Amino acid sequence: MDMILMAIVLVTVIGLIGAVILVAASIVMYVPVDERVEKITAVLAGANCGACGCAGCADYAKSIVEDGNAVNKCTPGGAACAAKVAEIMGVEAGSSVAMKAVVACSGTCEKTSKKYEFEGISSCQAVKGFYGGDGMCKYGCLGYGDCVQACAFDAIHVDPKLGIAQVDRAKCVGCGACAAACPNAVISIVPEHKRKPVVLCQNKDKGAQTRKDCTAGCIGCMKCAKACPKEAITVENNLARIDQEKCVGCQLCVKECPVGVIRPPQ
């Protein structure tokens, strides 16, 4: 009985000593945390999407307080979130432009076709590793939904009738997760604008080859560049590109494009 009692006392003493050591360590090693970090974390969207360039919402909040990071980088939270963070920090929120994902591919089932039937893991990354993909156009949307799996907001889906990914602009927060998941890099994140068009194609082959692969591919004809009064369009590697900062949304390029791949995102 004495042995049991001694064991209990010994364990209790060891526990008390350990508790004292932990308390002392917590006091010595305590790092003060600015209460603004917790307040900012609470008002952020909580998506932990990484669109702000940080590892997560808590990391972004810390960078705002400690490093002076901009207060308007929470894309999912938008302007309202930026205003709340700015209020906590006592600064101006600045302009916060809504960002949306755009699938730069017009190669629907009617416009292009498959070069072989893929039987395997339903993944864009998987089919991409097999002869560059199963589509006639090696630059287009593969349509197996890696972007769908990556989206935390249910804002992108692959329409089986079209065969390419479609963005639900009402749900999209522009976090960029879908763009990061796309092995063909056909998804980009651009400022939301009702009139500014984008080039919905990524094909860099010469015009003749592009037409063979997809009837809705950019053929690099340069008609759009010649029509643009602001020199916002350039053609490189047989593919037109629009500088969104220079573009004023006149849509003259939309009217001039012979294959209809330049238009505002819908």
Q: How confident is the model at residue 230 (pLDDT cuts 50, 70, 90)?
A: very high
Q: Are strands 187-191 and 99-103 parallel, antiparallel or unpaired?
A: antiparallel
At residue 1, the pLDDT reads 56
Average pLDDT of every residue of the chain = 92
Given a cut of 90, is residue 30 above it in pLDDT? Answer: no
Greater pLDDT, 211 or 33 = 211
Average of per-residue pLDDT across 3-23: 84
pLDDT score at 31? 66
pLDDT per residue over 72-116, tens digit each? 989 888 888 999 999 999 988 876 778 899 999 999 999 999 999
Supply 147's token pair: 């972007």
Do the beta carbons of residue 62 and residue 32 sit within 8 Å? no
pLDDT at 219: 96
Cα gap 213→113, rounded to integer Å? 8
User: Counting Cβ atoms within 10 Å, is residue 117 exposed (0-12), middle (13-18) or buried (19+)?
Assistant: exposed
Model confidence over 236-247: pLDDT tens digits?
999 999 999 999
* pLDDT above 90: percentage of residues in the chain: 68
- Where is pLDDT greater, at 227 or 53? 227
> What mean pLDDT do residues 15-38 have?
83
As a three-state string, the secondary structure of 107-131 is CCCCCECECCCCCCCCCHHHHHCCC
Q: Give residue-wise pLDDT tens across range 120-176.
A: 899 999 999 998 999 999 999 999 999 999 998 999 999 999 999 999 999 998 889
